[in-house]
Chain A
């Protein structure tokens, strides 16, 4: 009996470790930007090339920056959620169109609806790199002072909105 105890113990410990490992998400690398000022950029807008978009313009309000692209498969999944969010009018949603041809991006928004107040057109992907974007879609919550408060990696789900993003926006709106 005793001789089975040790292998059994090792097995249980191993099973626990592997079990915990299954629940981890190595794809979700924590952003070092949380609590830091949002990187500056000023790039042309997607719809009106003549106009630019910059985080500077959003000073004084809590807003979301959603990084998206027409070639991104999971963006398609989150798109209806964002359209729904835009309809609720709880937080201004801006887009960062990442490495996308303008006509493809515009056609995509025509298809699925445009939830964004405006989208910045980051054709080169340099803004994305500045913001530490490594997989589209990603969504940032930026506060009134221009500090990044939260980063959601992967498609935004209704649960993520309800449990994390909207409460955080409300909290940040309450604070000065």
Chain B
């Protein structure tokens, strides 16, 4: 009984903590926050390079998110903000790389590999079919021996 009461008390104490971690955008900022997140998801965090600045909690990512928010508030368009970041951090800041001549291999390389693999597969299958067609034909004797082996009457003494 006592342990149960204690458990309930602790649970009640823990509840406010459970909510404390969540961000609470104020009502009038919801639309802005959505736009901030949309832009942030296009930008790579340069500290933790496999994350967008939307996902990252690195200090630089937070600063950049604040910059995005400020610039949206000043009336810059999403496109302009992304350009602003590229101007400073280079193409690398784009989470989805641009399709241009230097990134063709990145974008199309996997498909080329797939084509090569498919080509190898087709060639191998053809080779195998050909090999099977060219395999020596069995004569009547061979058939009879195979039959007896399969039915279990062969005693193994032959050959």
Are A and B bound to each other?
A: yes
* Chain A residues near B (Cβ < 8 Å): 26-27, 29-33, 99, 125-126, 129-132, 134-135
Kindly report which residue of chain B lies nearest to residue A6, judged by CB atoms.
B120
Q: Beyond the given A129-B67, A134-B47, could you list 12 further A-B residue pairs with CB under 8 A, ordered by the A residue number? A: A26-B49, A29-B92, A30-B90, A31-B90, A32-B90, A33-B88, A99-B59, A125-B63, A129-B64, A134-B60, A134-B89, A135-B46
Instruction: Give the interface centre of A99, A125, A130, A131 by most chain B CB atoms within 10 Å.
Output: A125
CA distance A125 to B60 in the complex (A): 9
Interface residues in chain B, defined as those with a beta carbon under 8 Å from any beta carbon in chain A: 46-47, 49, 59-60, 63-64, 67, 86-92
Shortest Cβ distance from residue B153 to the other chain A in the assembled complex, whole angstroms: 39
A135 touches B47 (CB 8 A): yes
- Determine if A131 and B92 form an interchain contact, defined as CB atoms under 8 angstroms apart: no
| CB-defined contacts of B91 to chain A, threshold 8 Å | 32
Secondary structure call for the A interface: loop
Chain B residues whose C-beta falls within 8 Å of the C-beta of A130 in the assembled complex: 88
Closest chain A residue, CB of each to CB of B62: A125
Query: In the complex, are the beta carbons of B89 and A32 less than 8 A apart?
Result: yes
Say which residue of A26, A27, A32 sits within 8 Å of B88 (CB atoms): A32
| B-chain residues with CB within 8 Å of residue A126 when the two chains form the complex | 67
Interface centre among B47, B87, B88 (most CB of A within 10 A): B88
Residue numbers in A under 8 Å from B47 (CB-CB) = 134-135
Q: Determine which of A26, A99, A125, A132 lies in contact with B89 in the assembled complex, contact meaning CB atoms within 8 Å.
A: A132
State A131–B87 Cα separation when bound (angstroms). 10
A91 to B32 CA separation, bound complex (whole angstroms): 46
What is the bound-complex CA distance between A134 and B59, given in angstroms? 10
Q: Which residues of B contact A132 (CB under 8 A)?
A: 88-90
Q: Which residues of A contact B89 (CB under 8 A)?
A: 29, 32, 132, 134
Least Cβ distance of B90 to chain A in Å?
A: 4
**Which among B59, B86, B89, B92 has the highest number of chain A CB atoms within 10 Å?**
B89
Across the interface, which residues of A come within 8 angstroms of B46, CB to CB? Answer: 29, 134-135
A33 to chain B: closest residue by CB = B88
Docked Cα-Cα span, A130 to B63, in Å, equals: 12
